[in-house]
Structure 1
Protein backbone atom coordinates (compact mmCIF):
# COMPACT_ATOMS: atom_id res chain seq x y z
CA UNK A 1 0.00 0.00 0.00
CA UNK A 2 2.84 2.41 0.80
CA UNK A 3 4.38 1.69 -2.59
CA UNK A 4 1.10 2.60 -4.32
CA UNK A 5 0.79 5.85 -2.37
CA UNK A 6 4.41 6.76 -3.14
CA UNK A 7 3.90 6.03 -6.83
CA UNK A 8 0.71 8.08 -7.02
CA UNK A 9 2.35 10.96 -5.14
CA UNK A 10 5.35 10.95 -7.50
CA UNK A 11 3.04 10.90 -10.53
CA UNK A 12 1.04 13.84 -9.17
CA UNK A 13 4.20 15.85 -8.60
CA UNK A 14 5.83 15.05 -11.95
CA UNK A 15 2.77 15.37 -14.20
CA UNK A 16 2.72 19.20 -14.18
CA UNK A 17 6.46 19.27 -14.96
CA UNK A 18 5.91 17.09 -18.03
CA UNK A 19 3.19 19.45 -19.25
CA UNK A 20 5.71 22.31 -19.44
CA UNK A 21 8.41 20.35 -21.24
CA UNK A 22 8.94 21.26 -24.87
CA UNK A 23 9.15 18.71 -27.66
CA UNK A 24 12.22 16.63 -28.44
CA UNK A 25 13.43 18.10 -31.72
CA UNK A 26 16.62 16.10 -32.24
CA UNK A 27 18.97 13.67 -30.56
CA UNK A 28 21.96 14.91 -32.59
CA UNK A 29 24.92 16.50 -30.81
CA UNK A 30 25.06 20.31 -30.87
CA UNK A 31 28.04 20.26 -33.24
CA UNK A 32 25.61 18.90 -35.90
CA UNK A 33 23.15 21.79 -35.41
CA UNK A 34 22.78 24.70 -37.83
CA UNK A 35 24.36 27.86 -36.51
CA UNK A 36 21.96 30.32 -34.92
CA UNK A 37 22.57 32.73 -37.82
CA UNK A 38 21.74 30.02 -40.38
CA UNK A 39 18.59 29.09 -38.47
CA UNK A 40 17.53 32.72 -38.16
CA UNK A 41 17.90 33.08 -41.94
CA UNK A 42 15.82 29.93 -42.51
CA UNK A 43 13.11 31.18 -40.14
CA UNK A 44 12.94 34.42 -42.12
CA UNK A 45 12.78 32.49 -45.43
CA UNK A 46 9.86 30.51 -43.99
CA UNK A 47 7.96 33.77 -43.56
CA UNK A 48 8.22 34.32 -39.82
CA UNK A 49 8.70 37.96 -38.91
CA UNK A 50 8.96 40.34 -35.98
CA UNK A 51 10.84 37.70 -34.01
CA UNK A 52 10.78 38.82 -30.38
CA UNK A 53 12.62 35.78 -29.00
CA UNK A 54 15.00 33.29 -30.62
CA UNK A 55 16.50 30.77 -28.23
CA UNK A 56 17.70 27.25 -27.64
CA UNK A 57 15.03 25.34 -25.75
CA UNK A 58 16.13 21.83 -24.82
CA UNK A 59 16.91 20.09 -28.11
CA UNK A 60 15.18 22.75 -30.23
CA UNK A 61 15.50 26.22 -31.60
CA UNK A 62 12.42 28.14 -30.48
CA UNK A 63 10.98 31.44 -31.63
CA UNK A 64 8.26 33.79 -30.50
CA UNK A 65 7.16 36.07 -33.31
CA UNK A 66 4.57 36.37 -36.07
CA UNK A 67 3.62 34.47 -39.20
CA UNK A 68 3.64 36.10 -42.63
CA UNK A 69 -0.09 36.81 -42.16
CA UNK A 70 0.67 38.56 -38.85
CA UNK A 71 -0.56 35.85 -36.47
CA UNK A 72 1.26 35.35 -33.16
CA UNK A 73 3.47 32.26 -33.28
CA UNK A 74 5.48 30.09 -30.91
CA UNK A 75 7.45 27.60 -33.00
CA UNK A 76 9.93 24.83 -32.19
CA UNK A 77 12.36 23.80 -34.93
CA UNK A 78 14.63 20.82 -35.46
CA UNK A 79 18.06 22.49 -35.20
CA UNK A 80 19.66 20.08 -37.67
CA UNK A 81 17.13 20.23 -40.52
CA UNK A 82 15.25 23.43 -39.70
CA UNK A 83 11.91 21.61 -39.93
CA UNK A 84 9.00 22.75 -37.75
CA UNK A 85 8.47 20.22 -34.96
CA UNK A 86 5.68 22.00 -33.07
CA UNK A 87 3.89 25.30 -33.51
CA UNK A 88 1.22 27.24 -31.68
CA UNK A 89 -0.36 29.90 -33.85
CA UNK A 90 -2.91 32.37 -32.43
Structure 2
Protein backbone atom coordinates (compact mmCIF):
# COMPACT_ATOMS: atom_id res chain seq x y z
CA UNK A 1 0.00 0.00 0.00
CA UNK A 2 2.77 2.56 0.78
CA UNK A 3 4.21 2.00 -2.71
CA UNK A 4 0.83 2.78 -4.29
CA UNK A 5 0.48 5.97 -2.24
CA UNK A 6 4.01 7.07 -3.20
CA UNK A 7 3.30 6.41 -6.88
CA UNK A 8 0.05 8.38 -6.69
CA UNK A 9 1.76 11.35 -5.00
CA UNK A 10 4.56 11.31 -7.59
CA UNK A 11 2.01 11.31 -10.43
CA UNK A 12 0.11 14.22 -8.89
CA UNK A 13 3.32 16.20 -8.40
CA UNK A 14 4.24 15.68 -12.05
CA UNK A 15 0.86 17.04 -13.17
CA UNK A 16 0.86 20.05 -10.81
CA UNK A 17 1.74 23.54 -12.06
CA UNK A 18 5.13 24.96 -11.06
CA UNK A 19 5.35 26.03 -7.45
CA UNK A 20 6.68 29.52 -8.22
CA UNK A 21 4.21 31.78 -9.96
CA UNK A 22 5.18 34.90 -11.93
CA UNK A 23 4.65 37.22 -8.92
CA UNK A 24 6.81 34.95 -6.77
CA UNK A 25 9.56 35.07 -9.38
CA UNK A 26 9.21 38.82 -9.61
CA UNK A 27 9.50 39.08 -5.85
CA UNK A 28 12.92 37.51 -6.26
CA UNK A 29 13.79 40.32 -8.70
CA UNK A 30 13.65 38.29 -11.92
CA UNK A 31 11.56 40.01 -14.60
CA UNK A 32 13.58 39.78 -17.82
CA UNK A 33 16.78 38.43 -19.28
CA UNK A 34 17.09 41.40 -21.67
CA UNK A 35 20.09 43.72 -21.24
CA UNK A 36 19.41 47.07 -19.53
CA UNK A 37 20.12 49.08 -22.68
CA UNK A 38 16.92 47.59 -24.15
CA UNK A 39 14.74 48.43 -21.10
CA UNK A 40 12.05 51.10 -21.11
CA UNK A 41 13.21 54.45 -19.74
CA UNK A 42 12.38 55.39 -16.15
CA UNK A 43 9.98 58.03 -17.48
CA UNK A 44 8.19 55.43 -19.62
CA UNK A 45 7.90 53.01 -16.70
CA UNK A 46 6.43 55.81 -14.54
CA UNK A 47 3.82 56.46 -17.26
CA UNK A 48 2.96 52.75 -17.36
CA UNK A 49 2.62 52.73 -13.56
CA UNK A 50 0.18 55.66 -13.86
CA UNK A 51 -1.82 53.74 -16.47
CA UNK A 52 -1.95 50.80 -14.03
CA UNK A 53 -3.48 53.02 -11.33
CA UNK A 54 -0.41 54.10 -9.36
CA UNK A 55 0.08 57.82 -8.77
CA UNK A 56 2.68 60.04 -7.16
CA UNK A 57 5.63 57.80 -7.97
CA UNK A 58 8.43 59.03 -5.71
CA UNK A 59 11.05 56.34 -6.31
CA UNK A 60 12.17 54.26 -9.28
CA UNK A 61 15.08 51.88 -8.78
CA UNK A 62 16.47 48.71 -10.31
CA UNK A 63 15.94 45.53 -8.29
CA UNK A 64 17.44 42.47 -9.94
CA UNK A 65 16.06 42.54 -13.47
CA UNK A 66 12.95 44.55 -12.53
CA UNK A 67 12.07 48.17 -11.94
CA UNK A 68 11.03 48.72 -8.31
CA UNK A 69 8.76 51.70 -7.72
CA UNK A 70 7.24 53.33 -4.69
CA UNK A 71 4.13 55.44 -5.01
CA UNK A 72 0.47 55.65 -4.09
CA UNK A 73 -2.73 54.16 -5.40
CA UNK A 74 -5.73 56.22 -6.44
CA UNK A 75 -7.11 55.33 -2.98
CA UNK A 76 -4.07 57.01 -1.38
CA UNK A 77 -2.51 53.76 -0.14
CA UNK A 78 1.27 53.44 -0.23
CA UNK A 79 2.40 50.96 -2.87
CA UNK A 80 5.55 49.04 -3.64
CA UNK A 81 5.50 47.84 -7.25
CA UNK A 82 7.78 45.56 -9.28
CA UNK A 83 7.46 46.08 -13.02
CA UNK A 84 8.84 44.27 -16.04
CA UNK A 85 11.25 46.78 -17.67
CA UNK A 86 10.57 45.47 -21.17
CA UNK A 87 6.76 45.44 -21.15
CA UNK A 88 5.82 47.73 -18.28
CA UNK A 89 3.63 44.98 -16.81
CA UNK A 90 3.14 44.95 -13.05
CA UNK A 91 4.78 41.74 -11.84
CA UNK A 92 4.07 42.19 -8.13
CA UNK A 93 2.55 44.92 -5.98
CA UNK A 94 1.90 45.42 -2.29
CA UNK A 95 -0.14 48.19 -0.72
CA UNK A 96 -0.22 49.45 2.84
CA UNK A 97 -1.33 52.51 4.84
Tell me the TM-score normalized by structure 2. Answer: 0.64
Runs of 4 or more above 3 Å deviation: none
Choose which of 84, 91, 96 in structure 2 pairs with 1:85.
91
Is 1:67 aligned to 2:73, yes or no? Answer: yes
Which of the pair has more CA radius of gyration? 2
**Counterpart contact for 1:77–1:85, Cα < 8 Å:** yes
In structure 1, distance between residues paired with 2:66 and 2:40: 11
Matches within 5 A, 1:33-52: 33-52=39-58
Q: Extract unaligned runs of 5+ from structure 2.
A: 1-26
Q: Give the CA RMSD over aligned residues.
A: 1.5
- 1:11-55 residue CA offsets vs partner (Å, 9 max, x unmatched): xxxxxxxxxx74211111112211111111111222211222111
**Counterpart contact for 1:23–1:86, Cα < 8 Å:** no
Q: Extract unaligned runs of 5+ from structure 1.
A: 1-20
In structure 1, distance between residues paired with 2:54 and 2:30: 21
Tell me the TM-score normalized by structure 1. Answer: 0.68
